[in-house]
Amino acid sequence: MTRVVEVPSSFDDRSFDQFAGAIGAWPPDARLLIDARGVQWVSPYGLVGLLSAAQALKDQACPLPLFTMPQNDDVNRYWARSGFYEHAEGLFELHGKVPKHAGGNTETLLAVSPIRAIDDVHKAVTDISTNAARIVVEQLGIKAQETMRFGMALSEACQNIVEHSGSIGWVAAQSYTWRRKLGRKVVVMAVSDSGIGFRRSLEALHARRIGDRWGDGAAIEAGLIQNVSRFRDPGRGQGLALIKRFVLQWDGKIAIRSGTARLSIVPKWDDDVPLAEHIPYFPGSQVQITIPAPEAA
Amino acid sequence: MIQTIRLEELLRDTPTPLSRHLVTRPTGRAVRGGIERTVAETGCAMAVLDFTEVGLLDMSCADEVVAKLLLAGIACHVVLAGLREDQLEAVDHVLRHHGLAAVALVAESAPYVLGLADEDMRRAFGCVCSAGPMTSEALADQLGWRSERAAETLAVLVAQRLASAEGDEFHPLPLP
């Protein structure tokens, strides 16, 4: 039996819940067909989320999911340029023609990249640092010396996959113009893994302290707001503190989804809720950091 | 003896040199090991950790390299040199988190204290650095403090290894 899971036509962190809901219970009781034919737009979050879904299915020895590519040629070429198909092979049974890689994307800060070990973190940091110097400075009008902080934030987010998730993950970053909400350029960095998630990672040390309120939402809150860690080492937990400070400094947004909850630090320009609970379950953790260009840029 | 330790060289000497960035805890642990070995081999009284050619420094690595080095009670004074603004922020954050302080040298600026240090500590540190060895009474005179306040503050500077004590005198670190 095969279940069709339609990918939303505009696939980002907000429509991700619709995608997760279409998958249903984990592990799924049927082979999945991920239908991306109708996709018109995808964010880095959507791309790394799809790979995490497939990785989670693989981790749970589920049948290889089928994947039908976007019908829109431009959209499909973008998926190819982003590096998605390089990593999707082996995780999906791909249906459709993978476009030939037609050069790089001038707005890609970081192509879709796997995070399996520490050397992958170094590579991602090196890549985003090189591209940030070009894209962030030229397109967002952010000073060159400030671009270092993009790499620092990305490094901390990616390390969490290696140190806490128990699985592998994916990262991607892109700049684009966000006409609908801001009318400005933004940089979006997305990191997703298919691992144990915040709740299971922090449960042993922190569930008892938090008591009845313990769950996915409380666990993300403990990590992002209270900066606790699953390690007893008192130096731990500072990575998310750095990311939070970086986001606040740039009037940006961070949203962390794990299990059935999503916690966000919401700037004035966004209408998201700070805490969404009882949303459709999805394995692992997904982080999106959005940094807008300064208003004058 | 003052030993300058160039961190980008230690990065290159790690078992798996990955980049010029001081990122990730395993990288930080390897670099800290290199610092500890250098200090043990040279028997130096002061290690100047030179960040000049280092790319990024993330919070995890700052914790492993700087905070854990100080927490472990390294056998010499430690001074941080060549930190850029973003790197200063990371180091300052981890030091404050652990209740630690360290001396930073930044080009064309007087030495200053990074991390958890109150205004009294910063003023006393600045005074000892600019005026040279002094007793707590001399510091009290200079800053118009009561002698107990000066003595307590200098004792904290020594405990945090931001100055040294010889008899009744408090000495600035022999900065390069």
Structure tokens at A209: 């302290």
For chain B, the straight-line distance linking the first and the last C-alpha, in angstroms and rounded, comes to: 10
The domains located in chain B, with CATH, are 1-116 (3.30.750), 117-176 (1.10.10.10)
- Rounded to a whole number of angstroms, the distance from the CA of B82 to the nearest CA of chain A is 15
Nearest CB neighbour to A149, from listed B25, B86, B94: B86
Q: B80 falls in which pLDDT band (50, 70, 90)?
A: very high
Does the beta-carbon distance from B93 to A241 stay under 8 Å?
A: yes
Residue A151 with chain B: CB contacts under 8 Å: 21, 23, 55-56, 58
pLDDT at A105 over 90: no
Residue B59 with chain A: CB contacts under 8 Å: 152, 156, 238-239, 241-242
Residue B21 with chain A: CB contacts under 8 Å: 122, 125-126, 129, 151, 155
Does this complex have an ipTM over 0.85? Answer: no
Put simply, whether A242 touches B (Cβ < 8 Å) is yes
Supply angle C-alpha A66, A69, A71, rounded to 5: 145
CATH 3.30.565.10 corresponds to the domain A2-292: yes
pLDDT at A236 over 80: no
* Cα–Cα distance for residue pair B115/B103, rounded to 1 Å: 9
pLDDT in tens, A176-199: 888 777 788 899 999 999 999 999
Does the beta-carbon distance from B59 to A149 stay under 8 Å?
A: no
Which position has the token pair 């230690």?
B10
Q: What is the mean pLDDT of chain A?
A: 90
Residue B24 with chain A: CB contacts under 8 Å: 118, 121-122, 155, 159, 162
pLDDT in tens, B46-79: 999 999 999 999 999 999 999 999 999 888 999 9
Supply angle C-alpha A242, A247, A251, rounded to 5: 150
Which secondary-structure segment (H or E) carries B139?
helix B136-143
Domain boundaries, chain A: 2-292
The DSSP result for A50-71, as a single string, is HHHHHHHHHHTTPPPPEEE--S
A73-77, A84-88, A206-210: segment of lowest average pLDDT: A206-210
pLDDT at A120 over 60: yes
Put simply, whether A163 touches B (Cβ < 8 Å) is yes
Q: A102 falls in which pLDDT band (50, 70, 90)?
A: low
Mean pLDDT confidence for A79-93: 94
Put simply, whether A118 touches B (Cβ < 8 Å) is yes
